[in-house]
């Protein structure tokens, strides 16, 4: 991928120089990097096996973990799943107050 990108960048510079419309390579490279990043698959979403969680519902908002888990936390030798990082952060501020809403398995 880097070789193709470099070859494309070099070709572009050569063509623009021949036409008298040369731009600085750093600007062309920045454009190429932006295009390359746009075209790349940036899916880095984590997935969690809900069978490994100790709760049935998000302890903070009450959402069922079967609807989707985007973050987890370990507390009192258990693994809790959360619908968002915000819910996890809120839970960690005062875990004891939110445990009952988790509906442990």
Greater confidence (55 vs 3) lies with 55
pLDDT tier at 4 (50, 70, 90 boundaries)?
low
> Whole-model pTM?
0.57
- The residue extents of the domains of the chain are 2-39, 50-102
Q: What is the DSSP string of 53-98?
A: -SBSB-TTT--BGGG---EEEEETTEEEEESSHHHHHHHHHSHHHH
User: Which tokens sit at 24?
Assistant: 């600085």
Bridge pairing between strands 71-75 and 78-82:
antiparallel
Contact 76, 92 (CB under 8 A): no
Q: What is the pLDDT of residues 56-85, one digit of tens each?
A: 999 999 999 999 999 999 999 999 999 999
Tens of pLDDT along 11-56? Answer: 555 454 444 444 445 555 455 555 555 555 555 667 788 899 999 9
81 in Cβ contact with 53 (< 8 Å): yes
What gap in Å lies between CA 96 and CA 55, rounded to an integer? Answer: 14
Task: Write down the pLDDT at residue 19.
Answer: 44
């Amino acid at each position: 991928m880097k070789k193709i990108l470099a070859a494309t960048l070099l070709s572009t510079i050569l063509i623009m120089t021949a036409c008298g419309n040369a731009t600085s390579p750093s600007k062309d490279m920045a454009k190429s990097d932006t295009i390359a990043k746009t075209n790349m698959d940036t899916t880095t979403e984590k997935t969690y096996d809900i069978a490994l969680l100790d709760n049935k519902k998000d302890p903070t908002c009450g959402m069922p973990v079967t609807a989707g888990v985007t973050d987890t936390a370990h507390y009192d030798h258990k693994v809790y799943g959360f619908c968002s990082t915000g819910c996890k952060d809120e839970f960690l501020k005062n875990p004891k107050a939110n445990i009952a809403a988790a509906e442990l398995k």
